[in-house]
Amino acid sequence: MTESTPYSFLPTSKKEVEALGWGQLDVILFMGDAYVDHPSFGVSVIARVLEAKGYKVAVVPQPNWRDDLRDFKKLGRPRLFFGVGAGAMDSMVNRYTAAKRLRSSDAYTPDGRPDARPDRTTIVYTKILKQIWPDVPVVIGGVEASLRREPHYDYWDNCMKPSILEESGADILIAGMGEKPILQVAKAYEDGTADSLPRILMGPPLTTEELDWVYELPFTRLPHPRYKGKRIAAYDMIKFSITTHRGCFGGCNFCAITAHQGKQIQSRSEASILREVEALTHHPEFKGTISDLGAPSANMYRMGGRDKALCAKCRRPSCLFPNLCRNLDHDHTPLLQLYEKVLKVPGVKHVFVSSGIRYDLFLDENGFLDATGKRYFEEIVTRHTSGRLKVAPEHTEDHVLAAMGKPSFKLFERLEKEFRALVRKRGLNYEIIPYFISAHPGCTMQDMEALSKHPALRGVRTEQVQDFTPTPMTVSTEMFHTGKDPRTGKRIFVERDIAKKQRQKSFFFKKR
Ligand code: SF4
């Protein structure tokens, strides 16, 4: 154990460990992404959390798994355990398109190299570590491990697979947000009580104070110097972004965020966010623009049920679908106040919100739900987008939307009407950009044709469509695999033919 690290990054090589004067490391973390010391990168967060509690931690980003495995041996044996995380995405989603083609670049790798991590990264790294160091425990975590914690359907091999804990041979799996469980695990290995731990540990939601502590750890917010002169696309996207909260209660059937981050919103305090903004203004490349003040759904900051006892008993997967829960406090005032204060921080010129927003939190088919929702919409459009409001109706056909767990397209039509009225009134030449998903269970070729010809989309620039990818642990993936809607038990149409899936997507680009 050590007081603090004099080196500004956690060490990644023997030389860096020696420069710190450290002897044996306590924990060595292997990761499928490049090492960017930023709170948006999960393994970096875990490394900082362990470091802050006095553990000697090293990080091995993107080890070579095809040579003599020297990257897995170079730092020796840790005193407590190895940690393995595939990175910010499931490795199969990272490496393959929905059409199962290898992607040509990897946003989380320097210069986009597409071959810096193996398929099923968590399993490959863990097996290698177990082969070299059979008696050292391996703890796995991150999105890939979290979403594959239970037996699950795997789209890429088109079969059911056991828990990744069994497939990898790891000792412990941390599901969800790992800050609290990793400390629990470290202490248990230190005390010799790890045998009493469950093999799968879930992260209770963090309190505001705990979340503030995590985000205010001494991240440099920079890629490790070993990448000097190289570009990491994912870092470019997030380097001037700030996370306001975690979790999402939207419950979209195709999305795995709830399975990983939880349905309960965990918000940072205003003061902590403002401190981070202030620190960001000293970043050597900061020019005054915060690219995203957001979260999985940007406008859920400080929202949740009014009566917490009701929420504790609640079994609804979504607080928004099929209707807005009457117990849900959807007041946008805290977020509006936050935007206002962030804009007043010296050095900040623009604050954009590029994370998705849930417009059913402030609008229904008849108009705005309340005055704060109307003000939020006006603020977002006029001050917090760079002229393009990106929203995700996901489809136009209501039976497909119902399969997705999304509200009727009428809501988008209403939003579009409000948007046009607002930009006309303010004299702004702004656009609304809708996002869609093709080939979701329930969606036929005719449904995509109907989408492509929908009158409400005439004159609207539609440039974003995603071919549905069945990722583990979502309701939509269960529909894809079984051909049934698990909510009703009824059969549902599923397009599984890859060529036809791609044809569905191509409808979207037909001229209207
Ligand atoms: S009671 Fe309402 S607000 Fe609370 S969790 Fe359930 S749906 Fe959400």
DSSP E strands, 224-362? 241-243, 245-246, 266-267, 289-290, 292-294, 304-305, 328-329, 350-351
Which amino acid appears at position 200 of this protein? Answer: I
- 415-457 tens-digit pLDDT: 999 999 999 999 999 999 999 999 999 999 999 999 999 999 8
DSSP 397: -
Cite the beta strand spans of 337-494 per DSSP E.
350-351, 363-364, 367-368, 388-394, 431-438, 464-467
Cα–Cα distance for residue pair 481/404, rounded to 1 Å: 15
- pLDDT at position 6 is 43
Tell which one of 263, 264, 307, 316 to mutate to probe ligand 1, the residue whose CB is within 8 A of the most ligand atoms: 316
What CATH number does the domain located at 14-202 have?
A: 3.40.50.2300
- Nearest-CA residue for ligand 1 atom 1 is 311
pLDDT tens, residue by residue, 285-337: 999 999 999 999 999 999 999 999 999 999 999 999 999 999 999 999 999 99
pLDDT of residue 7: 59
Query: Ligand 1 center to residue 276 CA distance, Å?
Result: 31
For residue 127, give the nearest of 146, 108, 140 by alpha carbon. 140
Dist CA 5 CA 233 (whole Å): 28
In this prediction, residue 511 has a pLDDT band, given cuts at 50, 70 and 90, of low
Counting from 1 in the atom list of ligand 1, the atom nearest the Cα of 249 is 8
Residue bearing the CA closest to ligand 1, atom 5: 311
- What pLDDT is stored for residue 342 in this prediction? 98
328 close to ligand 1 (CB < 6 Angstrom)? yes
CB 26 within 8 A of CB 1: yes
Sign (positive or negative) of CA dihedral 32, 33, 39, 44: positive
> Is residue 127 helix, strand or coil?
helix
The per-residue pLDDT for range 389-419, each reduced to its tens digit, is 999 999 999 999 999 999 999 999 999 999 9
Q: How far is CA 368 from the centre of its chain?
A: 29
Fold agreement (240-386, 387-512): yes
Residue 106 pLDDT level (bands cut at 50, 70, 90): very high
CA-nearest residue for atom 4, ligand 1, is 311
Cβ proximity of 189 and 138 under 8 Å? no
How would you label 444-453 residue by residue, b for 16+ Cβ within 10 Å and e otherwise?
beebbebbbe
Does the beta carbon of 310 sit less than 6 angstroms from any atom of ligand 1?
yes
Distance CA 234, CA 97 (A): 17
What kind and span of H or E run contains 81? strand 81-85
pLDDT score for 311: 96
Quote the ligand 1 centre to 248 CA distance (angstroms). 12
311 lines ligand 1 (CB under 6 A): yes
Q: Which CATH class is domain 387-512?
A: alpha beta
Domain ranges within the chain, ordered by starting residue: 14-202, 240-386, 387-512
> Cα–Cα distance between 42 and 31 in angstroms, integer?
9
Q: Which of 314, 331, 360 is the pocket-test mutation for ligand 1 (most atoms within 8 Å of CB)?
A: 314
pTM of the predicted protein model: 0.94
Q: What is the DSSP string of 165-226?
A: HHHHT-SEEEES--HHHHHHHHHHHHHT-GGGS-SEEE-PPPPHHHHHHHHTS----EE-GG
SS3 124: helix
What is the secondary structure of 330-382 as a DSSP string? ---HHHHHHHHHHHTSTT--EE---S---GGGTEETTEESSHHHHHHHHHHHH
Q: Render pLDDT for 24-75 as a digit per residue (tens, 0 to 9).
A: 999 999 999 999 999 999 999 999 999 999 999 999 999 999 999 999 999 9
User: Hey, what are 206's tokens?
Assistant: 């963090």
CA of 362 to the centre of ligand 1 (A): 16
The interaxial angle of helices 333-343 and 371-383, nearest 10 deg, is 30
Packing angle, helices 409-426 and 371-383, rounded to 10: 60
The reply to whether ligand 1 has any atom less than 6 angstroms from the CB of 327 is yes
State the average pLDDT over residues 64-87: 98
Three-point CA angle 218, 220, 223, nearest 5°: 140
How far is it, in rounded angstroms, from Cα 408 to Cα 410?
A: 5
Structure tokens at 173: 């799996």
- For the stretch 222-263, pLDDT in tens is 999 999 999 999 999 999 999 999 999 999 999 988 888 889
Cα angle: 207, vertex 210, 214; to 5 degrees = 135
Which stretch of DSSP H or E encloses residue 82?
Answer: strand 81-85
Mean pLDDT for 6-14 is 85
Per-residue pLDDT of 179-200, as tens digits, reads 999 999 999 999 999 999 999 9
CATH 3.30.750.210 fits 240-386, yes or no: yes
